[in-house]
Amino acid sequence: MENMHEKLPIIYHPRYKLGTSWLKHLHYLDMDKSGDLYRGLIKKKLITPQQIHKPKSITSAQLHSVHSTDFVCNKLSDKNWLSNVFQVEAMRKVPYAISKHLVLKPMFYHAGGTILAGKLAAEHGWAINLGGGAHHAHAKDASGFCAVADISISIEQLRSNNKDIKKIMIIDLDAHQGNGHERDFIHDSSVYILDMFTHGELPNGNMFYPNDETPMDRINACVKLDFNTKDDEYLDKLATALKQAKAEFSPDMIYYVAGSDILEGDMLGKQNISVNGLIERDEMVFSFAQQMGAPIVVVQAGGYQANLGSIAADSIENLNQKFDLF
């Protein structure tokens, strides 16, 4: 890098960290994946602390721009609802103020980061939020470790403040269906959705989460993956889906939900993608954005195993080498 103090469109805040030391024993989620990624990028000397953008917490007005009044005023202040969203029974037994500080406030910063990422991508051509991607939250409700519809809110804010940005493409490659943004934009044809996700019946007879059929019909390029898909098949299906998207839509901005729960060994993703496969996946999406001439926003979304921060840092390092980002 020529100027080690020049700001880069990378967004992170120490408040991204969820919970406290005891909570990690009660939850699948890596409570500080964003922090691990941030430190990984510093260790690789790709960034310095002075170069990142620190987001503000999402405002009440920004929440209300997408979420219903009932959601903002009632659900977000209900500790039983939060317990259901984060699947931590202990939240029912502690004062709401504790859960708000340890879990909900970090989510507000993640959402602020995704809003800022939209603004920076419009200015720089790309932006990476080291958090965000709560794609199971929508206007009226939330689930699956997602409390705030940061993707939908960021798109709403971006389009409100940029009259030239109207057509949005969401490329959701988290292992789980992005039913939140699919519900929010179910009647909005100016948002094109490509979603590749695990689909099938589990040994217990339940369908793989979330199996949300109504918004599933909204997906423009829908790729349902069998359990334990390997690199070659996965990347072939992604290439086909991107080709379809290119033929059908010309976006002014792309939002990329870069979930790492597709990796082999992930306890919730049920896929079998290698680290190299994930790195190639991310490169394919960035290459697609360049071909389309569209700025790209990256959010991290799901991932439920150790060392995800290091793996994501390796992928960002590869993107920098291939596309000279920094």
Residues with catalytic roles:
136
| Closest residue by Cα to residue 284 from 250, 322, 227 | 322
Per the structure block, which two tokens stand in for 245? 């998207």
Q: Helix, strand, or coil here: 120? A: helix
Per the structure block, which two tokens stand in for 132? 């965000």
- Cα–Cα distance for residue pair 79/75, rounded to 1 Å: 8
Question: Can you say whether the dihedral through the CA atoms of 149, 298, 233, 248 is positive or negative?
Answer: positive
Count the helices and strands in the chain (H runs, E runs). 12, 7
Per the structure block, which two tokens stand in for 275? 């680290």
Task: Count Cβ neighbours within 10 Å for each residue of 130-160 and write b for 16 or more, e otherwise.
Answer: bbbbbbbbbbebbbbbbbbbbbbbbbbbbbe
CA atoms within 13 A on the CB side of 288: 29
Listing DSSP states for 251-265 in one string gives -SEEEEE---TTBTT
Task: Judge whether 261 and 303 are in contact, CB under 8 Å.
Answer: yes
Residues comprising the chain, all counted: 326
Can you name the residues that pair with 256 across neighbouring β-strands?
171, 298
Single-letter amino acid, residue 286? F
Per the structure block, which two tokens stand in for 230? 């390997």
CA 194, 198, 200: angle at the middle one, nearest 5? 125
